[in-house]
Structure 1
Amino acid sequence: MIDTVTGPVVQPFAAQLKAWMDQEARYQPKLSGLRLIESAQDNGLRMTTKMRELEVKDLLSLSRFFGFSSETFSLAVSLLDRFLSVMKIQPKHLSCVGLCCFYIAVKSSEEEKNVPLASDLIRISQNRFTVSDMIRMERIIMEKLYWKVKATTTLHFLRFFHSHIQEQLDTDGRKVLSIERLEAQLKACHCSFVFSKLKPSLVAISLLSFEAHDQHHPEHIGKISEALKCLQKQLNVKDGDLVSVRELVGKCLAEYATTKCSRPNGQRLRWIISGRTARQLKHSCYKFAHLPTIPESGF
C-alpha cells in the first residue's frame, strides 16, 4: 500500500523538527548512487547529471501545465532522485521513470478529481511508451522504494522554517521573506543536480539565508539573522556548510535566470493534447513558459 503525503501534525517546533530530521535521513537519496551518475561520461550509454536535470525541468513544465501544487513537483523530484540513486537505468528509460515518479506524486498529493489519465500524460509529454509500460515501471519504482512515498522534502522544511521565523517578526518584518518567491527559488534548485546530494533541511535554511542576505531591509535583517542563527544551531549546521550551500543557491539562481537555462532545448515544448483533455484543462495552463520566472518581489 502506498503511503501518502499528509500535512504536518501540530506539535511544538522542537518536537516536529526532530521528527522530520529523523525521517530526512531515511529518505535521503544514496550518495554512492548519485556519485555514479555524477561521474558518468556523456556518451549516451549511462545516466548523467545533465539528463537528470533536463528531465526535472520537463516535470516542472508538466506540473505548471496542469496547475499542480509545489508539493507534487517537490515530491516527484524526491522520488526520481531516490530511484536513480539505487537503480542503474538506461537513458532511454529515463522519460518513463520520470513520468512515473511524477504520476505517483500526483496521485499522492493532488485531489482525485484533478488526477489525469496516464494515457493523457503520455500524449501530452510526447513519449512513445504505453500505459502498460507505465504500469510496469511504476511497480518497479515502488518496489525499489519499498512502497514508501511519504517523505519530508525540502519544501516541507522550507515552509516549516519560514513559518517559524515569521512568528518572531512584526508585521512589516514578515513582508521581507516571501514564501512564494522562496518556493519559486526552490523549484530552480530542484532543477540542479548538486542539490540532490544535500540534506533537504540544509538546502531549506540556505535558501532562507540567501534570501535574507539578498534583501535590503536593514531595519529587519537583524531580527531575521538572529532567528536564522538560532535555527542553524538547532539543525547543528556549521557556518562553513551554510556559507557553501548559500553560494551554491546564488550560483544556481543566477544561472537559472539566464536565457540559455530558461530554454534548455532552444525552444518551448509543444504540448500535444486530445480534444477531451483540452476541455478539461484550465485556460491558464497554456500561458506558462518552459521554466517560470522567479518573482523579484514578494510584496
Structure 2
Amino acid sequence: MLRAGARHPDADELEASTSRQHDQDVDVQMYATLNEYLQLEQKFQPRLCLPAGSENGEVTIGARDGAAHVLRCLKVWYDLPAEVLINAINLFDRFLTKMKVRPCHIPCITVSCMNIAIDQRAEDTRQPRTVSVEELVSVSQSACTAGDVRRMSRVIGDKLALAAHVRARTALHWLRLLHALLARAAARLHMRLPPLQESELVNLLEIAVCDASCVNARTSELALVIIYHKLEEQLAEWSQRESAAGGNTDSVYYLNDFAAQLQAHCNMSEASLASTRGLMRAAQARYGARGRAHPQRLVWRLSERTLKVLRPTDRLTSLLPTIEEQHFAVEQTPNRTRSGSESSESEETSDWPRSPVLPVYCNN
C-alpha cells in the first residue's frame, strides 16, 4: 500500500498519456472544422463585378465601399462585435452578386443587412438584441422607414436562402481557426514568442473587407494572408532577439513552414496567394494614406427637426452684462404685482426644456 500523500509510480506517465490523447482529439476536431469550412467556402463566396463609374444607373465600386463604411460606423457606434460587421458585409456582397439593384436602394439594403446580422447574432448567443430597427434607421440616416428595412430583410433572406441552422463561414471564422492552428503549432514547438493579438488581426480584416478590391478574394486566402502579414512583421524582430541571445531561430521558420502546409491543405496556389497578398497590402496602404491625408474631427450633422428638439445654446455667452445698481427710496420702489395667469412661459427663455439637460463633453 502507498503512504498517505504518495503518488502512484505510473501517475506521471498516465497524466502525460491523457494529455497527449486530449491534444490529439483537439487536433482532429480542429482539422474536421477546417475541412467543413473548405466544403462551405464557395457557397458563401461573393463574386462581384461592379463598374468604377456609373454608366447605366448601376451600383459602382464607390457605392459599395460607402455602404461598407456605413456598416463599420454602425458597428462602432453601437459597439457591436466584429462578427456582426463581417457577416453584414458578406450578406451585402452576396446579395449584390445575385441581384441587380438600383443605387437608390443601397441605403435600405445596407441597413437591412446589418439588421439581419444583428438578428443572427442574437439567435446564436440566445440573447435579446440591443439595437432596434428604428435606431438603425435613425442613426444611419438612410431615408427609409423601419417597415422598409423589415421588408427588405425578408427579401434578402429569401434571395440568399438564409437558414436558421446554417451560418455563413466568413473570413473571420477562417482567421480565428487558422490563428488557433498556428498557436497550437507554436505550443508544440515550445516557442517563446509574442503571440499574434487577435484584436490586431481582426482590425486588419475589417479594413480589408471594407475595400472592394478584396471582395472576390477567397476568404481562406484573405485570412491566411493577414496572418502571414503579421507573422512577417515579427519575423525580423524575433530572429534578431534570438540571435542576440544565442538561441535557436529554426523554430520561427518551422512555424512559417506550418503555415505553408496549411496553404497546401487548403489548395491555395502561390499565384493566387500572392495576388491576394498584394490586394490586402494595397487596401492597407489606401486606408493609412486616407487617414493621414484627411485628418478630421467628428462632425455632427443635424436636421432642422433635430435642432428644434435639442434647443441649441446659441444665445448663451461667456460674458455676463454688468448689473447697474439703482437706489430707490422705499416709498419710490415700484410695486410688482403678479396675477394668477402669469407664468414663466411668457419669459424670454420659455422655449427651453423644463427637463434636466445633461452636458456632452467631447475630446478636441
Count, aligned residues: 263
Do structure 1's residue 207 and structure 2's residue 226 form an aligned pair?
yes
Deviations 1:210-234 (A, max 9, x none): 2212223224631331121111111
Of 239-248 and 39-48, deviating more is 39-48
Q: Deviations over 1:225-268 (max 9, x none)?
A: 1121111111111122222211221111111112358969x774
Alpha-carbon offset, residue 147 of structure 1: 2.3
Match of 1:156 in 2: 173
Unaligned runs of 5+ in 1: 1-9, 276-285, 289-299
Match of 1:248 among 274, 279, 289: 279
The residue aligned with 1:140 is 155
Give, as a single letter, the amino acid of the residue that structure 2 aligns with 1:240. Answer: A
Structure 1 pair 114–143 and aligned structure 2 pair: CA distance change class (3 A) = closer
With a CA cutoff of 8 Å and minimum separation of 6, indicate the structure with the bigger relative contact order. 1
1:230-249 alignment runs, 5 A limit: 230-249=261-280
> 1:192: which partner in 2?
211
Structure in which a larger fraction of residues adopt helix: 1
Deviation of 1:41 after TM superposition, in Å, equals 2.6
**CA distance 1:262–1:269, shift in 2 (3 Å):** farther
Aligned residue runs from structure 1 range 53-68, under 5 A:
53-68=65-80
Aligned equivalents of 2:62, 2:56: Cα separation in 1? 11
- Which stretch shifts more, 251-260 or 180-189? 251-260
Q: Secondary structure at the match of 1:116?
A: coil
Match of 1:122 in 2: 137
TM-score (norm 2): 0.66
Which residue does the alignment assign to 2:184? Answer: 167
* Aligned amino acid, residue 116 of structure 1: V
User: Aligned partner of 1:258: which letter?
Assistant: A
User: In the alignment, is residue 222 of structure 1 matched against residue 253 of structure 2?
Assistant: yes
CA contact (8 A) 1:256 1:262 kept: no
SS of 1:128's partner is coil
State the Cα distance separating 1:126 from its structure 2 match.
1.4
- Name the structure 1 match of 2:328: none
* CA deviation string 1:116-147 (max 9, x = no partner): 11111111111211111111111111110112
| In structure 1, distance between residues paired with 2:58 and 2:141 | 22
2-structure distance, mates of 1:269, 1:237:
44
Measured against aligned partners, the alpha-carbon deviations of 1:56-110 in whole angstroms (never above 9, x if no partner) come to 0110011011111111111001100110101111111101101100110011114
**1:72 is matched by which residue type in structure 2?**
V
**165-174 vs 223-232, greater mean Cα deviation:** 165-174
Report the structure number with the largest CA radius of gyration.
Answer: 2
Q: Does structure 1 conserve the Cα–Cα contact (< 8 Å) formed by 2:213 and 2:283? A: no
CA distance in 2 between partners of 1:261 and 1:204 (Å): 26
Q: Which range moves more in the overlay, 238-247 or 173-182?
A: 173-182
Instruction: Show the counterpart of 2:202.
Output: 183
In 2 relative to 1, CA 144–267 (structure 1 residues): closer, same or farther, beyond 3 Å? farther
Partner residue of 2:33? 16
Q: Distance in 1 between matches of 2:79 and 2:193?
A: 27
User: Does the C-alpha gap of structure 1 residues 287 and 165 become closer, same or farther in structure 2, counting only changes over 3 Å?
Assistant: farther
Q: Is the 8 A contact 2:52 2:62 kept in 1?
A: no
Corresponding letter in the other structure for 1:225: N
1:259 aligns to 2:297 (yes or no): no
1:24 Cα deviation from its structure 2 partner: 1.1
Q: Distance in 1 between matches of 2:217 and 2:56?
A: 26
Would you say the 8 A contact 2:71–2:110 is kept in 1?
yes
Deviation at 1:183? 0.4
On the 8 A contact 1:60/1:73 being kept in 2, the answer is yes
Q: Aligned partners of 2:213, 2:92: CA distance in 1, in Å?
A: 14
TM-score by length of 1: 0.79
Q: How does 1:263-274 map to 2 (within 5 A)?
A: 268=298, 270=300
2:43 matched to which residue of 1?
26
Q: 1:86 to 1:202 in 2, by over 3 A?
A: same
Q: 2:118 corresponds to which residue?
A: 106
Paired with 2:301 and 2:121, the residues of 1 have a C-alpha distance of 23
CA deviation digits over 1:155-178, x for unaligned, max 9? 000000001100111476552422
Distance 1:70 1:175, change over 3 A: same
1:23-69 residue CA offsets vs partner (Å, 9 max, x unmatched) = 1111222x3xx12x2x3533582101111011101100110111111
8 Å CA contact 2:111, 2:142 repeated in 1: no
The runs of 5 or more residues in structure 2 that have no matched partner are 1-25, 240-248, 311-360
